Amino acid sequence: MTRSDSETADVRPRRRSTAVRPSDDALLDGVLAVFAADGFDSVTMDQLATAAETSKPTLYAHFGSKDQLFDACVRREAARLLEWMRESYRIAQGFDLDRHIATTTRALFDFAATHTAGFHVLFGAPTAGRSHEVRTATIGSVADTVAELIRHEYGGADLQWGASADFCAAAITDIGVRGVQQALAQHLDFTAAANLTISIIVAAMRHLDPAAVRAVDAGAAPQTRGALVREGASDYASLPGDQASRAEPRNDVLDVASRAFLRGERIELHAVATELGISRTTIYRRFGTREELIGLTLARRFEHVISAIDRRCTSRGAHRICEVFDQALRQLSADPALRTYLQNESPAALRLVTHPEGPVHRGSVTLVEKLIQRAQEQDGYRPPVDRTTLAYALVRLGESFLYSNAIDDAEGDIDHLLQVQTSLLGVSGPVGES
């Protein structure tokens, strides 16, 4: 008996309507489970096209080869994991290290429970060995944050962290990932497995031998020129002779961090180091923690904004100070990159921006104090209080406005702020008149 066309159609692979062009995400959703279950090598483009309810030509048109399709899966799941972990970092802001480890470790297990195929593609054995750089960068980004927490929470007079913080962070991150892998492989209760993983990590950190920490740091500190060149040839290749051994690409690091900041991205030490071809330890040695690098990046950003406005300003005396400060605040308050940073990393961002010994606050006070000093020396301006105190008051006022403006996600009343500034400076008449 011959089957009808309708009966035959029932057993054909489903295809999406040709009237609707599928998005990359929709196609990746379709192939993800196949890659996760069977790995890269054993699946064909025909199988992947069937799973995505599309055709091979469509997959090729969107992604190119099977390698590129798999790479796109890995990159998307890596981005999802990092965003998931960043949210856990925001939740854990202000916690001590033990609670932070508990919060972020549970977040890793939760991600695997709700994005099982994504976790398998990132870290599962069937896909090991491919898209290695993406996996390494993902682990590195998580480890960066853990290392930063270790330096903040476990530092002290008898324990100063260097490369040992990176060492411990890498071990902690590895324990977390392997804990999830075991839970998936053995079908364990995820809550129980997460609690056991947390207890292992916390117990290890509580019983660290300070002498062992210092020994690791002592062994890592004296790096030879050869080691540094291997670490990042781009740092030194353009320099002749022993100039290379003394060079420190400080501005290169700040340039990369600044570009990431202006794109609204989270500044990641691992990503900065990878782009420059240097190690995270090199950045730590030159800048300290991720927070300190962000502070220097923001300080440089503020300096560029204020200096550019100052060069264009034609007013004199107190009017010039007020006009420069007012325009700088208006520009910074409208800066989407700064707003994104203050919103995403609050309250750590508030602490970084306002800390009296931090580079942002200290640099801002210095810039404003120089404006006041020039007005005194060139225009005969007489501030109502000493210029350091006046600069401090103006900066604190600006910090409060910028932070509340960003966190409330609303435009503050900057005209009222201008009235306070003019009162502090003793300005009479409209701003802009010298």
Domain segments of the chain as ranges? 24-220, 225-235+243-288, 297-425
Looking at domain 297-425, does it have CATH number 1.10.357? yes
Identity at 384, one-letter amino acid code: P
CB 109 within 8 A of CB 180: yes
Query: Which residue carries 């325009």 as its tokens?
Result: 327
Q: What is the pLDDT of residues 217-255, one digit of tens each?
A: 887 644 433 333 333 333 333 333 333 333 345 678 888
Q: What is the pLDDT of residues 102-152, one digit of tens each?
A: 998 999 999 999 999 999 988 875 554 456 777 777 888 888 878 877 877
Sign, CA dihedral 120-122-124-127, equals positive
Residues 230-248 as b/e (b if ≥16 CB within 10 A, e otherwise) read ebbeebbeeeeeeebeeee
Would the CATH topology of 24-220 be identical to that of 297-425? yes
Strand partners, 156: 159
Cis before 347 (ω within 30): yes
Give the mean pLDDT of 248-273: 81
**Can you give the pLDDT at residue 412?**
52
Read off the pTM. Answer: 0.54
How many other CB atoms sit within 10 Å of the CB of residue 132? 10
For the domain spanning 24-220, the CATH number is 1.10.357.10
* Integer Cα distance of 178 and 363 in angstroms: 44
- The larger pLDDT score, comparing residue 74 to residue 134, is at 74
Query: Mean pLDDT of all residues in the chain?
Result: 78
* Integer Cα distance of 207 and 190 in angstroms: 26
- For the chain, give the percent of residues with pLDDT over 90: 13
DSSP state of 384: S
Query: Which residue carries 């593609």 as its tokens?
Result: 121
User: Which of 7-11, 59-63, 198-202, 398-402 shows the lowest per-residue confidence on average (mean pLDDT)?
Assistant: 7-11
* Integer Cα distance of 139 and 145 in angstroms: 10
Give the mean pLDDT of 207-211: 85
Q: What is the pLDDT of residues 307-352, one digit of tens each?
A: 888 888 888 888 888 888 888 888 888 888 888 888 888 777 888 8
Give the mean pLDDT of 50-75: 87
**Can you give the pLDDT at residue 203?**
92
